Amino acid sequence: MKEFLLIIVPLAGALLAAVWRSDRTRPWLLPAVGLVHVVLAFWLLVDPPLIAPGAWWGFDPLARAVLPAVSLLFLVCAAYGVSYLRIRTERPNRVFVAMLLAVLGLLSAGHQARHLGLLWVSTEAVTLASVPLLHFNGTPRAFEATWKYLLVGGTGIALSLLGSFALGYASLHGGGIGDLTFAGLVAQGGTLSRPWVLTAWVLVVVGYGTKMGLAPMHTWKPDAYGEAPAIVGAILAGGVTTVAFTAILRVRAVVEAAGESAIADRTLLAIGLFSMLVAALFLLGTRDFKRMLAYSSVEHMGILSIGAALGGVGMWAALFHVWSNCFTKGALFLSAGNIRRAAGARTLDEVGGMSVLTPRSAALFVTGLFAVTACPPFGPFFSELQVIRAAFETGHGPAAAMLLGCLLFAFFGLTRVVFGVVDGRPRTAAQVAGRNFPETAGVILPPLVLLGISLWLGLATPNVLREAWTAAVAQLFSSP
C-alpha cells in the first residue's frame, strides 16, 4: 500500500495546489508533500515490500535502488523552491507548484512500473507535465527552450513507444499471449523473436536515450537546463533522466533474456563513450555556466550508460553513480541558480567576481565543481572509480582510458567556466543586482545539504544502500 501512496500523495498534492487560493502559502505544499514522500520512500527502502509476480506496479529492487534518491533530491529542491518562489512573486506559481508535484508522482509511477506500457505512459506524462515548468519564466528564450524540449523529447517519446510496440510484437511472435510485464517478457526469454527484439532495443535506446540526454540525442538539454529555474533543472537532471535510465535497464534485461546481451552492452558502451566525448568537447567551448551544467549532465549520463554495459559490477557502480550524481548535480544547480539570480546574467562575458558578491553561493559552487569532477572524498569519486575498475576487470581497457581522458577534458572545461564566474572583479551591473539578492539560509542550506549527502555517500556508503544496489543488480541479471 505504501508503494501506491508514493504515487497518490504527490498527485493529490498537485490537485490541492491547483485549487489552493494563496500564491504566498502555496509553495509550502512542496516541502510538505516532499517530506511525506521521503518518509515513505525510505521506509520502503529499509523494509522492502513483497511483490506479486505478475504485478504491474511494485516497489521492486530496481525502484528501491533509485527512487529514494529522487525522493530526497525532490525534498531538498522543494525546500529551496519555497525561498525561490518568494523572490519570484511577480510570476503566478499555481501551475508551477501543481506540475512540480505531479512530476514527483509520475516519476514515482515510472520508477515502479513493471509493465512496458505503464512505463511508457508514465514517462510520457512526466514529459508533458514538465513543459509548464520549463516555461515558468515566460520569456521568448524560455519558449524557445520549451519548444525544442517538446519537439526533441516528443520524438524520443514516440520512438520509445514504437520500440515498446516492437517488443510487444517480439513477444507475440514468440508465442506470447500479450503479457507485457517485464517479468513476463524475461520469462519468455529465448522464444522472443530476435529481429524484433533488436529493432525494439535500437528504438528504445534512441527513445529513452533522448529523455536521458545521451549524445547525439541530447540537444534539448542545454536549452532546457539553461532556461528553466534551478530547481527544475535539478529535478530534470536527477529525477527524469533517472527514470529513463531505469527504463533502458529494464528493457536491457529483456534483451539479455533473449540472448542478445553482447549487442546490448556494446550499444550502451559506444553511446556512453560518445556522450562523454561530446560533453567534454562542448564543456571546453561553452561560456554559459547554466548550459555547462547540462553538458556535465550529458557526461554523467554517459558514465551511467558505460557502467550499465560492464556487467554486474559495472551495473552496481552505475546505480551508485545515480545517487552520487543526483545529489552533487543538484547542489551545483541550486548554487548556480543563486549566482545567476544575483548576477542577472549567465555567460562569462557578463559574470565575474561572484566570490565578492555572493561568497557563500560561490563557495558552494566551487565545492560542487570539485565534487562533480570526482575529487575525493565526494560520492562521484567512489562511484566513478568503481565504473573504471569494472571496465578494467571486464577487459575494457581502451574504454576506461577514453573515459578517463574525457573526464580530464571535462575537468578543464568545468574549472575554466566556474573559476571565470567566481574570480575576478564583479561587473558594475551585477553589483546593483547582487545587492537585491540576499544569501538567506533558505537558498544556501539546500545546496549545502545536497553536498553533505554527496560527501556522506562517498565516505560512508550506508549498508542498506549497498544491499539495495546488489538486489537491483540481481534483478537485472536474473535470467539464466
Partner 1 sequence: MVNLMVGLAMGLNLVALGTSRLPALIRAMAMQGVALGVMPVLMEHEFDWRVGLVAAATVAGKGLLIPSLLRRAMRAANIDREIEPVIGLVPSLLLGAGATIAAVALGHLLPLLPEHAGSLLVPGAMASVLTGFILLIGRLKAISQVCGYLILENGIYMFGLLLIHTTPLLVEAGILLDLTVGVFVIGIIVDRIQRAFDSLDTRKLTALRE
Is residue 349 involved in binding partner 1 (CB under 8 A)?
Answer: no
Is residue 156 involved in binding partner 1 (CB under 8 A)?
Answer: no
Q: How many angstroms separate the CA atoms of 246 and 160, rounded?
A: 13
Number of residues that bind partner 1 (CB under 8 A): 50
- Nearer residue to partner 1 within complex by CB, 164 or 338: 164
Interface with partner 1 in residues 38-97 (CB under 8 A) = none
Q: 109 is written with which cell numbers?
A: 509511477
- Nearer residue to partner 1 within complex by CB, 222 or 447: 222
- CB 131: neighbour CB atoms within 10 A? 15
Minimal distance in Å, beta carbon 286 to partner 1?
6
When binding is defined by CB under 8 A, the residue of 111, 148, 329, 340 that contacts partner 1 is: 148
Minimal distance in Å, beta carbon 4 to partner 1?
19
Minimal distance in Å, beta carbon 115 to partner 1?
9
Q: Which region, judged by CB under 8 A, interacts with partner 1, from 10-18, 143-151, 247-255, 307-315?
A: 143-151
When binding is defined by CB under 8 A, the residue of 180, 192, 205, 237 that contacts partner 1 is: 180
When binding is defined by CB under 8 A, the residue of 87, 172, 313, 348 that contacts partner 1 is: 172
Is residue 265 involved in binding partner 1 (CB under 8 A)?
Answer: no
Q: Which region, judged by CB under 8 A, interacts with partner 1, from 68-76, 86-94, 154-162, 450-458?
A: 154-162
Q: Which region, judged by CB under 8 A, interacts with partner 1, from 65-73, 148-156, 323-331, 468-476?
A: 148-156
Angle between helices 241-257 and 289-308 (to 10 degrees): 20
Q: 42 is written with which cell numbers?
A: 525510505
Q: Is 138 helix (H, G, I), strand (E, B) or coil?
A: coil
When binding is defined by CB under 8 A, the residue of 121, 270, 356, 363 that contacts partner 1 is: 121
Minimal distance in Å, beta carbon 211 to partner 1?
13
Is residue 460 involved in binding partner 1 (CB under 8 A)?
Answer: no
Minimal distance in Å, beta carbon 69 to partner 1?
27
Is residue 286 involved in binding partner 1 (CB under 8 A)?
Answer: yes
Is residue 128 involved in binding partner 1 (CB under 8 A)?
Answer: yes
Is residue 193 involved in binding partner 1 (CB under 8 A)?
Answer: yes
Nearest to 309 by CA among 275, 280, 283, 282: 275
Nearest to 102 by CA among 33, 154, 3: 33
- In Å, how far from its chain's centre is CA 11? 20
Is residue 320 involved in binding partner 1 (CB under 8 A)?
Answer: no
Q: What angle do CA 369, 373, 376 make, to 5 degrees?
A: 100
Q: What angle do CA 149, 151, 153 make, to 5 degrees?
A: 55
Minimal distance in Å, beta carbon 41 to partner 1?
26
Cell numbers 546481451 correspond to 261
Angle between helices 241-257 and 140-173 (to 10 degrees): 20
Q: Which region, judged by CB under 8 A, interacts with partner 1, from 93-101, 149-157, 255-263, 410-418?
A: 149-157
Interface with partner 1 in residues 203-232 (CB under 8 A) = 222-223, 226-227
Is the N-terminal amide bond of 216 cis, ω within 30° of 0? yes
Minimal distance in Å, beta carbon 394 to partner 1?
32
DSSP state letter for 27: G
Contact 135, 127 (CB under 8 A): no
Nearest to 349 by CA among 269, 270, 412, 430: 430
Is residue 376 involved in binding partner 1 (CB under 8 A)?
Answer: no
- Nearer residue to partner 1 within complex by CB, 137 or 261: 137
Strand partners, 113: 57
Minimal distance in Å, beta carbon 467 to partner 1?
34
In DSSP notation, 48-66 reads PPP--TT-SB---HHHHHH
- In Å, how far from its chain's centre is CA 210? 12
- CB 46: neighbour CB atoms within 10 A? 11
Minimal distance in Å, beta carbon 80 to partner 1?
24
Q: What angle do CA 122, 228, 69 make, to 5 degrees?
A: 50
Is residue 196 involved in binding partner 1 (CB under 8 A)?
Answer: yes
DSSP H or E run through 390: helix 379-393
Minimal distance in Å, beta carbon 184 to partner 1?
11
- Nearer residue to partner 1 within complex by CB, 67 or 185: 185
Is residue 282 involved in binding partner 1 (CB under 8 A)?
Answer: yes
Is residue 395 involved in binding partner 1 (CB under 8 A)?
Answer: no
Strand partners, 181: 115
Q: How many angstroms separate the CA atoms of 413 and 408, rounded?
A: 9
Nearest to 445 by CA among 68, 79, 28: 79
Q: Which residues bind partner 1 (CB under 8 A)?
A: 116-117, 120-121, 124-125, 127-128, 131, 135, 138, 140-141, 143-148, 150-151, 154-155, 157-158, 161-162, 164-166, 168-169, 172-173, 176-178, 180, 193, 195-196, 199, 222-223, 226-227, 282, 285-286, 291
